[in-house]
Chain A
Amino acid sequence: MSESLADELSDDAIVLRAEAQDWREAVRFAGDALTAAGSTTDEYTAEMIRAIEELGPYIVIAPSIALAHSRPSPAVKSTGVSWVTLAKPIEFGHASNDPVRLVVGLAAVDHDSHLATMSNLAGVLSGDLDRLLEATSPEELRALIRENTQ
């Protein structure tokens, strides 16, 4: 996996202004994008949804941001990230960080291979989220991410 989140996000892995009606559909967008990018199978999407059903909406890690993921499994073909912005903010049931406007999908083949991307992601998401959410094309989004990458 490359070090740069922007390089990691192919056009297939990006969905802008997705029309999701509820959190399951929002997570499914993130899972479908991972599958479209060749990183996972559909089973991983089901695993991500199951994880939230079992453990609660803890994946809403900051205001407006959900990090949808499951664990390394046969449903993960390669480590990858997807980026889904929501046309309409969605309630995940989190006590303080709802509603969600961005779902980042994450798949990892093990516990270490994605650490550089995670570090990049942490840096980018700590920045100006509103600007990132305003991106209207994958090109523009990648440019903004590069700008925010130290």
Chain B
Amino acid sequence: MKIVAVCGMGIGTSVLLKMNAEKVLRTLGVEAEVEAADIGVARGMARDAQIVLTSDDLAPEIGEVSAKVIIIDNFFDLEEITTKLKAALPE
């Protein structure tokens, strides 16, 4: 499975999101590749991803993609990331 963490610049928030998503996936025992991306390349990368993680402000910028777009409010809240990822993971 491929997950893309998206932010505006690709060096800050998406990197934090990627790190915490990886932590959560490890705990859940889910095998997935998480990549950080800036909004410019995100659409292309989201094409073969199953899940896109991003923030409220950036979600509309990603546009129509087949991946599930998950909005994270608190990037440090592992519980929030866990709940939202669990709901989006395929059974």
Contacts and interface: CB of A to CB of B under 8 A. Distances in A.
B11 interface: yes
Q: Is the interface of B mostly helix, strand, loop or mixed?
A: loop
A56 B58 contact: yes
B76 A126 contact: yes
Contact of A55 (B11, B39, B73, B74): B39
B11 A72 contact: yes
A71 B73 contact: no
B11 A69 contact: yes
Contacts of A94: 56-57
A62 B77 contact: yes
Interface residues on B, range: 20 to 34
B16 A59 contact: no
Contact of B16 (A51, A56, A67, A96): A67
A67 B76 contact: no
Contacts of B11: 69, 71-72, 106, 108, 111, 114
Given A62-B76, A69-B11, A114-B11, A55 B19 contact: no
Contacts of A63: 74
B1 interface: no
Contacts, number: 76
A82 interface: no
Interface string A108-137: 100100110011011001100000000000
A89 B71 CA distance: 25
A21 to B, nearest CB: 23
A95 B73 CA distance: 9
A126 B75 CA distance: 9
A71 B10 contact: yes
A67 B7 CA distance: 12
A61 interface: yes
Interface of A: 51, 54-59, 61-63, 65, 67, 69-72, 94-97, 106, 108, 111, 114-115, 118-119, 121-122, 125-126
Given A58-B13, A71-B9, A119-B19, 20 more contacts: A51-B8, A55-B8, A55-B57, A55-B58, A58-B7, A58-B57, A59-B12, A61-B74, A61-B76, A62-B76, A62-B77, A65-B76, A69-B11, A94-B56, A106-B11, A106-B12, A111-B11, A115-B15, A121-B16, A126-B78
